[in-house]
Each structure stands twice: as structure tokens, then as C-alpha cells.
Amino acid sequence: MGEQAVALSKAVKYSSAGTCEFLVDSQRNFYFLEMNTRLQVEHPITELITGVDIVREMINVASGCPLSLKQEDIGINGWAVECRVYAEDPVRFLPSIGYLSTYKEPLNAPGLENVRVDTGIVEGSTISMFYDPMISKLVTHGETRDEALATMAKALDHYCIQGVNHNIPVLRDIITQPRFVSGDITTNFIPEVYPDGFKGRVLSEGEKDELVAAACYMHISREDTAKQFLNQERQSETVDLEPQDWELVVKCEEESVPVRCGWSEDGLEVSLEGKEEPLTISTDWRLGEPMMLADVDGREVAVQYEARRGKTLP
């Protein structure tokens, strides 16, 4: 394909940045599709695996300067994956417009490396109906494809966008689909994997339990803080001032989950009805932060909450 792209460029005497696209069949035969006389939105992939600043080379060529390197100077290092983060309803695949009340990129998340975000917006920006609703290009790099995908999944979990609908849920679901991870991808992937459309991520039982534990932590932290402000701890000496146990009912999807919680030295212990062992959740999360990064029985969990009907709910 590279040889064919070069031959085509020479045939038309093309001398700037461009992108040739091909289709490949199951027997690895390839067919020319089109050429775009510009960079494509996927150019960060090439930059990460080659280490070449393609935009800089393009500008230099447009200014009449020669390329700073030859083809034999370019190697390939590892794998890169790109997700286009869009302001759109992931269920109906329709654009979403509005004010970005919260926008936190996953560049500084603990333990996240080899992450790149190309964007032109900041917190407070408005996504309008007059332009492409793409928010950013999120790109991750790794020595292997599996490593790049794992980093992407974590980066998407740590990407916080509020104020508009966005497609992160469907992106996150796609890159963790076993078929996608194995590389069994065709142009029929979406209709075959989502024949009825994307309906939201199907949580495992363990993920539901972790979400319930995080919701309990948020709720109890908020209630404890409210009591301190209302001076409710200034009771008579006959009142037991030890940390109380909490009996809650958490609604997760359509299920109501009875829970009993209590503080321990390791964090909040959450006992779910029907489960033999409690979950222990610990975190440095504080009220007002849009994202909770927590440890639930040794597993790293990222949970976001958003405002609904004027109230902030987990």
C-alpha cells in the first residue's frame, strides 16, 4: 500500500501532505479508495508510532523547505489507538449541543501514561449547532495493541465531560468488546455487535457492587459533612458519639439493593444483602469533585457523578 501511495503521488506530481485510503478484504487484498490532499483526523496515530511531527513537516513543505527525513529514516514503534470524542447521544447517535460545565482531560490521572489529547475547547466552551461536534481526539500508545487498548479504556474512564451528551460510553464499550480486542473487525462490526443499537454498557455483577459501594461513600460523606455544618454532633454526654452504621437502599439500574455500611480503619465497609463478604472502599475523593478514584478491595475504580434536576447525584 505504501508503494502504491507513493506511485500515485508521483503520477500526479503531488508535493504536499496527503492521505491515501485503501480497503482490505479477508484475503489481505487491498483496493484503492481515495486520496485526501491533507492530513486525516487519524494523523496522531502515525505521529505516535513513528515519532515524526507530520504537521511540522507539512508546514515546512508548504513554505518551500525540503523534508527533514527520508522514508528509510522512519521506523514503527509499538501501537497507537485513537478515539474521536464527540458531543452526541451515544444511543441515538445524534449531535448534542450546549455548555461544557465540566471538562477534565485524562492527562494527569494517576498511573496514566502515553496519553495524548488533541482539542480546541476548554471548560466553559460551548458546542454549537454550526460546527462539527467533535470535542477531541483521544490517543493512547503502547508497546503492544493490548497495552494501547488497556490504556485507552482507563483514559476514557478518567475523561470527565458534563453539560452535553457524549459518546464516551459507546467508545468504552467497543474497545473492550472481546471481538474488538481480538482484532476480529470488519465494516459490519457495529450492526453485528449492536444489532438493536447501543443501549448502554451492561455491567457485570462485580461492577454493580463497586458502583453501589461508591454511591454509598458519596452519600455518607455528604451527610456527615452536612451534620458538621448543622452542629448535629453537639449532643448531650449521654449520646453515643461513635461513628454510626448506615442502613441504606441503593437503586442500581432497576434493582433496589439493601446495604449496611460502617467506617473502619481501611475505609468504608459496605455489606450488600445476599453477599457473604463486605466490600471496603477507600479514596481521597472530596465533595464537589466530579470524579472519584477509589480502591475497592484492591481494584481501582473510577466513578463520575453529574447533576440531575438541580441535585448532584452519584
No. of helices (H) and no. of strands (E), the chain: 8, 19
The yes/no answer on whether domain 205-231+243-313 falls in CATH 3.40.50.10680 is no
DSSP character at residue 126: E
Burial class from Cβ neighbours inside 10 Å (0-12, 13-18, 19+) for residue 270 reads buried
- According to CATH, the superfamily of the domain at 78-202 is ATP-grasp fold, B domain (3.30.470.20)
Find the catalytic residue in 28, 38, 92, 299: 38
Instruction: Encode burial over 289-308: b for 16+ CB neighbours within 10 A, e otherwise.
Output: ebbbbbebbeeebbbbbeee
Report domain extents, the chain: 78-202, 205-231+243-313
d(CA 87, CA 77): 32
Is 38 annotated in the active site? yes
Mean pLDDT by 10 residues, the chain (314 residues): 92 89 92 91 93 92 90 93 94 88 86 91 91 93 96 94 93 95 91 90 89 92 70 47 75 88 92 90 89 92 72 44
Tens of pLDDT, residues 165-186: 999 999 999 999 999 999 998 8
Q: Is there a common fold for 78-202 and 205-231+243-313?
A: no
Of 182, 163, 159, which is closest to residue 171 (Cα–Cα)? 159
Of 17, 15, 20, 16, which is closest to residue 5 (Cα–Cα)? 20
For all residues of the chain together, what is the average pLDDT? 87
Cell (9 digits) for 137: 481526539
Cell (9 digits) for 170: 459507546
Of 210, 148, 203, which is closest to residue 175 (Cα–Cα)? 148
